[in-house]
Structure 1
Amino acid sequence: MMYCFNAAEMFQLAIEIKENGKAFYQDAQAKISDPEVKQQLAALAQEEQAHIEKIKRLKAESIWGDAPSTFDPENELEAYVKATADQHVYKTCGALTGKLSEIQDVGDVLKLALQFEKDTVIFFLSMQEAICEGKDREVLDLLVKDELARVKRLSMQIQRMGYCRL
């Protein structure tokens, strides 16, 4: 492979994805009239913001540095990272507008959020081949573990609230 993402680029990709998620939840809030659903969407947007702050802290504290993995005098890499994040599940060709129309209760919101988190895990795992060898792969593992923890928490919340019936 001629090019690979490094740790700093992976952190930035994760931040972009989470920013998109936060924006989606905020936009969804404006389109939903049910107060309980609006409250859950607001909570999910706040969680995304907290996750963004956590990723930024990890990036700032990281031992991996933030030098680009290749010479990039015209900042094309930044545009590429943003475009990659924008193709993630939160911005999939208007399909989410249809999903919003299907939301009837908090359970539907939580299930949608759970699907987003699962899709994020899949997205990060699919990036494994595009990650530089060595310590940079540890960043990807860290991001995947963090997303898996969110999947587990949302799954438990759905079950606890009785929205998952076997």
Structure 2
Amino acid sequence: MSFEFNADEVFEMAEQIERNGAAFYREAADTVTGDPEGRGFLIRLAEMEEDHEGVFSEMRASLTDEQRAATVVDPNDDALDYLRSLADTRVFFQRQIDTSSMWEILKAAIGIEKDSIAFYLGMKDMVSERRGKEKIEAIIREEMEHIRLLSHELMARKGEQG
């Protein structure tokens, strides 16, 4: 079955991914001992994820009726349930993550952020211009900023690699 998603559906998933990301970074921060700077960095990332959730929520609220309109008849919300399951499992939770060191946490986080971008790129192809494709591009730019920050921190800790 083929679906065309609207921007409203994708923003709902973006909000969930950001909630999942905040939880991941907070849990990772709880495992970091003896590295207050690393713990603080992870907490700041969690706060950024929460801020991004707010940004995406505002962007979602600003969508036009056309951008919110259902694209297919889906009385059981199967398409939305599919997207929700992808957001909940594929981006932040379907992998074993070594939280024994900041180096490993940062490497895993970069991979996770790349997965989220891949998810959004795939979703962008399923959202037409009139349904808000440019809004999905804004999500991708936000996630690319996460990778930049994580990569910078990883390089600053190069001597800590295991």
- The TM-score normalised by the length of structure 1 is 0.77
What is the aligned partner in structure 2 of residue 22 from structure 1? 22
Matched residue type, 2:41: Q
- Give the alignment partner of residue 139 of structure 1, picking from 125, 135, 156: 135
* 1:32 CA displacement: 3.5
* CA root-mean-square deviation: 2.6
**1:86 paired to 2:82:** no
- Give the alignment partner of residue 120 of structure 2, picking from 120, 124, 136: 124
Residue correspondence of structure 1 range 1-166 to structure 2 within 5 A: 2-36=2-36, 37-63=38-64, 65-93=67-95, 95-96=96-97, 99-100=98-99, 103-105=100-102, 107-129=103-125, 131-135=126-130, 136-159=132-155, 161-163=156-158
* 1:85 CA displacement: 0.6
Q: Take 1:104 and 1:133, find their aligned partners in 2: how far apart are those partners? A: 42
Compared with structure 1, are the counterparts of its residues 92 and 137 closer, same or farther at alpha carbon in structure 2 (3 Å cutoff)?
same
Q: Secondary structure at the match of 2:134?
A: helix
Q: Deviations over 1:124-163 (max 9, x none)?
A: 223344x13223322222222222232223333444x353
Q: Take 2:158 and 2:46, find their aligned partners in 1: how far apart are those partners? A: 21
Instruction: Flag structure 1 segments of 5+ consecutive residues without an equivalent.
Output: none
* 1:38 CA displacement: 2.7
Aligned residues: 157
Instruction: Flag structure 2 segments of 5+ consecutive residues without an equivalent.
Output: none
Identity of matched residues, %: 26
Q: Secondary structure at the match of 2:29?
A: helix
> Is residue 22–residue 44 contact of structure 1 (8 Å, CA) maintained in 2?
yes
Matched residue type, 1:27: E
